[in-house]
Amino acid sequence: MTGVSLLTYADRLAGDLPGLARLLSHELSAFSGTHVLPFFTPFDGDDTGFDPIDHTAVDPRLGTWSDVRGIAETHEVTADLIVNHVSNRSAEFEDWLARGSASSHNGMFLTFDRVFPGRASESDITAFYRPRPGLPFTPYRAADGTRRLVWTTFMPTQVDIDVTHPAGIAYLERLADTLAAGGVGTVRLDAVGYAVKTPGTDSFMTPQTLDFVAEAAALIRARGMRVLVEVHAHHTQQQAIAPLVDLVYDFAFPPLLLHALATGRSDRLATWLGIRPSNAVTVLDTHDGIGVIDAGPARDREGMLSHDEMATVFARAADATGGHSTAASVIPAWMTLPHQINATFFSVLGGDTRRMLLARALQVFLPGEPQFYYVGLLGGLDDRELFARTGQGRDVNRHHYTPDEVRRALDTDVTRGQLALAQLRRHPVFAGAFSWDAPDVASLVLRWRSDRHEAALRVRFDDPDFDLTLDGMPVALAG
C-alpha cells in the first residue's frame, strides 16, 4: 500500500461504517487505507471488540459486510483476526460447556490439562508471561458439573483458543474465509505472541510461536490477503518475524523518539534506523497506548534503552500528563514497569503542535507503511472522564468523538499539518530510494530520491524543530 493508513474505531470516530466511508471520501481523503478496529459482534464488549461473541458477523449497529466491501473499493482495509481468544459468551464456548465431548467445538478451547497433561510445578506456572497481573487461568463449570481451568491470557471473559487442535485450526480458517469474502486486504494477527503455550518457557514469542506465525501467514496468504503481525516485545523479535510475514509493527520507534526529544540526543534512534525491518507499519500511538517495552532490555538481551532510561520515558510522560499516565498504565505480572504508556501521544508531548508535527514528519519519512491513530490525528488529549467511568487505562486514548468535535479538530493546526503530511506521503518520491544521516549527536537527516524528485527532512532534538523540503522548496505545514 502507498501512502498513509488510518487506525480507528468506526463508532468512536464516525458513528458507524457508512460514516467512516464518508469521512475517508471527503475530509480524510489523504489516507490510502484504513485499519478498522474490531467491528465484529459486539464491538463494545469487555475489551472493545477484542472479545468477539461472533467474529464472523459485523455488529449491525455499525453496518454490514457490504459496508466493509464498499470501503475496500477505494481504500485498503485492514481487519483483525483475533487468534488467541474469543468471548466466553460465544456460541462455540457455550456449546462446549453445555455438551462437553459431544460438542463439535470440543478441543477448541485451551484447558490447563492440555498444556500440563501431568503435574505442573509452581515454577512451571509462574514462568508464563502475561500482560496483566495475576495468573492466566479462569475456572469454569460445565453443565454436567465438571470443573475446568481454562486459559484466559487477557481477561476472564476472553477464553483462549487451542491453535494446535483441529477444532481451533478450523475456527481460524473460518474466520480467514469470512475476512477475505468481506474485502479485507490485510489481516492483523492480534495477540499472536501469546497463542502457543509451551511448558518450560514463558510461552511468549518462542520458536513454537514463530512456527505458528508461519502457518497462520500461509493460511491467510492462501486467501489473497497480506499478513500483519502485532507483537510487543524485544526489538529482535520484530527482526525475527519480519521475514515470515508481509508486515510487522515498528513499536520501537515511539519510545526512541520520546527519548530523543527528552535528551536532545539522536544516537539511539539512529541505531534503530540502521537495523529496523523495512516492511514495517510505523506508528506513534495506537489504541493500546504507546509501547515502550519494545526498545528496552529483555532478560539477558540488552535493549536500545536501558531499564532506567525506560523508567525516565515513563516519568517524563507522567510529568506531561500530571501523573495521569502512571495511574492509567498497568504493570504486568512479574514486571517492574508497564509495557506501554496509557496516554495520548499529544498529551505526552504536552500538547505542543510543533513537536507533534515533528514526530509525524519522522514517522512519514521512515520506510514502510505509516499509520495514524484517529485520536492522535485529531490532536486528542487524555480522556480522563472516560477512564474514570470505565476503569480501563487504555480508554484515556480511546475518545468517542461527536461530529462537532471532529469538525472542530479538522480546523486545528495540529490536524491540518498531519493531513498535509499524509498527503505528502502519496508523492512518487516515496517510491524511490531512502537514505539517512546523523550529522551530529543531536540531529538526523532523512532523504528520499527518485529519478526526478528529492524530499528531505532535517530534525534537531536539542532544541526540537524540523524543516521539510521537496525538490529543494520548503514544505509548509500548519503550526
Domains of the chain with CATH codes: 5-82+169-431 (3.20.20.80), 91-160 (3.90.400.10)
Cβ(67)–Cβ(36) below 8 Å: no
In three-state secondary structure terms, 218 is helix
pTM of this prediction? 0.96
Q: What backbone phi and psi angles, to 5 degrees, belong to 371?
A: -135, 125
Name the one residue in this structure whose C-alpha cell is 526526478: 452
Q: Which element (helix H / strand E) includes 449?
A: strand 443-449
Residues 6 and 453: their CA atoms lie apart, in Å, by 26
Q: Which element (helix H / strand E) includes 424?
A: helix 413-424
Per residue of the chain (479 residues), give pLDDT as tens.
789 999 999 999 999 999 999 999 999 999 999 999 999 999 999 999 999 999 999 999 999 999 999 999 999 999 999 999 999 999 999 999 999 999 999 999 999 999 999 888 999 899 988 888 889 999 999 999 999 999 999 999 999 999 999 999 999 999 999 999 999 999 999 999 999 999 999 999 999 999 999 999 999 999 999 999 998 889 998 999 999 999 999 999 999 999 999 999 999 999 999 999 999 999 999 999 999 999 999 878 999 999 999 999 999 999 999 999 998 888 777 677 888 999 999 999 999 999 999 999 999 999 999 999 999 999 999 999 999 999 999 999 999 999 999 999 999 999 999 999 999 999 999 999 999 999 999 999 999 999 999 999 999 999 999 999 999 999 988 65
Catalytic residue, chosen from 190, 285, 294, 309, is 190
For the chain, give the number of residues: 479
Q: What backbone phi and psi angles, to 5 degrees, belong to 38?
A: -40, 120
Exposure letters 337-348 (e unless 16+ CB within 10 A, then b): bbbbbbbbbbbb
Residues 312 and 138: their CA atoms lie apart, in Å, by 35
Residues 321 and 298: their CA atoms lie apart, in Å, by 27
Catalytic residue, chosen from 230, 246, 382, 383, is 230
* HSE of 59, CA atoms in CB hemisphere, 13 A: 24
Q: What is the DSSP string of 334-395?
A: T-SS-SEE-S-HHHHTTT-HHHHHHHHHHHHHSSSEEEEEHHHHTTPPP-HHHHHHH--GGG
Residue 230 bears catalytic tag = yes
